[in-house]
Structure 1
Amino acid sequence: MRRIAAVLLLFVLASPAWAFDTYRFDARVIAVGDSTGKLVQAAGHPARIVQLQNEYGAVTGERWEYDIDGKTVGFTIRNGKVERIDEGR
């Protein structure tokens, strides 16, 4: 019984991480793997675009940040596609 309770607890604690594979803008949903064009159609242009660089200073992607309802939602963009979605940063 303890093992089942521990597994359920881990499942509950890990579930919020799954929610960051998508983000809803009104009736439109953006998911990891969607194009930047779809993101712009759903959310408009971002408030900020930050270039992401590797340790040598080469640009490896961008972070598009939107200010929504008092929080920042960030989309990591690489090769023209959404690679990661972060809320509240």
Structure 2
Amino acid sequence: MHRYILFMVLLVCSAGAHALESLRVGSQVLSVGDSAARVKALMGNPAVRTKAGSDKSARKNASKSVGKSKRATAKEKGEKWQYRRDGHTTIFTIANGKIAHIEDSAR
């Protein structure tokens, strides 16, 4: 019985981690690595557009990026495009013309 519960918890946790790699938009899917042009084609123009490293804490953390993965470093650079849809706020981090990170949260 305990193994079944552990399996279900692990299954739910792994599904949540996968959600940050892709996002369904209608019948299409946006994934990390897709172009910024594809985001605009499916989502339109963002409601808010900011530089990803524009706040002080992001700049402080960016200076400590020694040993970080390329994806983590790309997340700190580029732009953040924010969209509101279906009661959710979706933020795409765009670096080098591609999606580096996707965040989706309820408002």
> Which category describes the TM-score, using the shorter chain as reference length?
0.7 to 0.9
1:6–1:67: structure 2 CA closer, same or farther, 3 Å change rule?
A: same
CA-CA distance at 1:15 after TM superposition: 1.6
Which of 59, 79, 84 aligns to 2:96? It is 79
Greater per-residue strand proportion: 1
Q: Which residue of 2 aligns with 1:45?
A: 45
Identity of aligned residues (%): 34
Alpha-carbon distance, 1:77 to partner? 1.0
Task: Return the letter of the residue paired with 2:100.
Answer: E
Q: CA deviation at 1:60?
A: 2.0
Distance 2:61 2:4 in 1: 47
Matched, 1:62 2:67: no
Distance 1:10 1:27 in 2: 28
Matches of 2:86 and 2:5, distance apart in 1 = 36
1:13 aligns with 2:30: no
Q: Contact 1:36–1:80 (CA<8 Å) still a contact in 2? A: yes
Structure 1 residue 78: Cα displacement: 0.9
TM-score (ref. length: structure 2): 0.68
| CA root-mean-square deviation | 2.5
Specify the SS of the correspondent of 1:10: helix
Aligned residues of 1:29 and 1:42 also touching (Cα < 8 A): no
Cα distance in 2, alignment partners of residues 51 and 86 from structure 1: 16
